[in-house]
Amino acid sequence: MARDLVDENRISSRDELVGWLAAGCKPQGPFRIGTEHEKIPFYCSDRRPVPYDGRPDLGRGGIRALLDGLRAATGWEPIEDSGALIGLFDPEGGGAISLEPGGQFELSGAPLDDSHQTKAELDTHFAALAPLCARLGVSFLDLGMSPLWRRDETPVMPKQRYDIMARYMPKVGGHGLDMMFRTSTVQTNIDFASEADMVAKMRLALNLQPIFTALFANSPFTDGKPNGFESMRSQIWTDTDPDRTGMLPFVFEDGMGFERYVDYALDVPLYFVKRGDIYHDVAGASFRDLLAGRLPQMPGEFATISDWANHLSTIFPEVRLKRYLEMRGADVGPRTHIVAFTALCAGLFYDRDASAAAWDLVRDFTDEDRAALRAAAPREGLAARVGARSAQDLARDILALARAGLARRRRLDAEGRDETIHLDVLEEIAVSGKSRARRLLAHYHGDWKGDVARAFDACVY
């Protein structure tokens, strides 16, 4: 999330929370698609992480200098936290830049019509970064996890909410701090027409997330060596905070809808309550108490729309509901992979026939099937199995459906090509069964001669 919503209207009832989600319905469309990606910066000279204020020993600026440079280049408006520049946003309603806890640089893209526009957005973003990176001697890894630095070597960004989270995370899971400081993801956001459409898309998306994890697996190294997983980023989420992560079995129960998700979210503990420019640490407290005006840490304070939107942004299931649905199962990868994720989701979720056929592939999954596939995919990748089928088999079928859906969408680029061109990189992975993680491991055991530092040459934007 690039910046916190500002809406201080007091919430008087649970029904208003339901209504806020329902306001995301687009019965007449148009359905758009948004893409968010994170990337880990490093100094090219010594392959070390980039602190917020830079490296005086190198005479180099850091994250702040990147933000200042992008602000000048784009004209985007600043986002500040206690006087520190922590992000930028397009005042014309386009994208935004934000910082993850360890300095991961995030582009939250604008809602766009198709994956061709996503590619153009990425090209524009990296073109703006290129001269700044050259001047600062900085580059970015296209991996889903920092491959070399220990957690205590990773810089900390000056954001109040992250200070609160960092204190709370070790109380509820073993890898929350790794999630915060050392991982990078790509996320695709999709629209829904109605409550029923939201439920159908959310159920399909949850069934597919482990397959997406396997297709996009790209985090096989930690602390300078193989970590035993194809997607360590995904594995880390299984031991982060059980109250706010997971596969959401209730979504598949009768009665699922906006109200049921609101009840789930109300039971997820708060991290903070923001008043003015101050984030008040209430980690572990109940949103229900804030709604009723009886939060012990802030007596007399009542929940606002801002509190609700901010709280929803601190819930991290494999598919997250806001006023759109967020697909959260994939490691970040090269630019072609980022665009491919957008195209894959557009083909599957925005074509009625593709959605129906994809549902037929996974409709018989049980809670146990979903949990088992979710557990296996980070380690086994496309070799993971559900019933008689492998994730690789399912990935091939799903890609064929997405390809057909994109062909029917017929969104053409300037050269007259439809969006299916962006699926080619995934087709190669699905046919071979070799994720990018597997290919990188082959390099590690082969021409890299066991040196993970080679990733800083081979795995960059």
Q: Check pLDDT > 80 for residue 7.
A: no
pLDDT in tens, 216-240: 999 999 999 999 999 999 999 999 9
Amino acid 4: pLDDT:
58
**Cβ neighbours around 446 below 10 Å, total:** 9
Q: Please give the DSSP secondary-structure letter assigned to residue 112.
A: B
In whole angstroms, give the CA distance from residue 358 to residue 362.
Answer: 7
pLDDT in tens, 335-344: 999 999 999 9
C-alpha neighbours within 13 Å on the C-beta side of residue 365: 31
List the domains of the chain with CATH numbers: 14-458 (3.30.590.20)
In whole angstroms, give the CA distance from residue 156 to residue 65.
Answer: 16
> Hey, what are 80's tokens?
């500040």
Which amino acid type is present at position 371? Answer: A
At 292, the pLDDT band (50, 70, 90 cuts) reads very high
**Cβ neighbours around 268 below 10 Å, total:** 19
Residue-wise burial string across 347-360, b where 16 or more C-beta atoms lie within 10 A, e elsewhere? bbbbbeebbebbbe
Return the beta strands (E) in 144-255 as ranges: 185-190, 221-222, 225-226, 245-246
Q: Check pLDDT > 90 for residue 5.
A: no
Q: DSSP 3-state assignment of 114? A: coil
Give the DSSP H or E segment for 6: none
Contact 60, 54 (CB under 8 A): yes
Amino acid 8: pLDDT:
82
Amino acid 1: pLDDT:
46
Contact 95, 110 (CB under 8 A): yes
Q: Work out the percent of the chain whose per-residue pLDDT is above 70.
A: 99
pLDDT in tens, 89-103: 999 988 999 999 999
Q: Check pLDDT > 50 for residue 445.
A: yes
Q: Check pLDDT > 60 for residue 2.
A: no
Give the pLDDT mean for 153-165: 98
Amino acid 145: pLDDT:
98
In whole angstroms, give the CA distance from residue 213 to residue 331.
Answer: 7
Q: What torsion do the CA atoms of 186, 192, 198, 200 make, to the nearest 10 degrees? A: -90
Phi, psi (deg, nearest 5) at residue 297: -75, -20
Residue with tokens 């979710």: 374
Give the pLDDT mean for 21-27: 98
pLDDT in tens, 372-426: 999 999 999 999 999 999 999 999 999 999 999 999 999 999 999 999 999 999 9
Q: Check pLDDT > 80 for residue 428.
A: yes
> Hey, what are 230's tokens?
């194809």
- pTM exceeds 0.85 for this model: yes
**Dihedral sign from CA coordinates of 130, 131, 137, 138:** negative
Amino acid 6: pLDDT:
62
Contact 126, 54 (CB under 8 A): no
Burial level of 86, CB count in 10 A (0-12/13-18/19+)? buried
Amino acid 75: pLDDT:
95
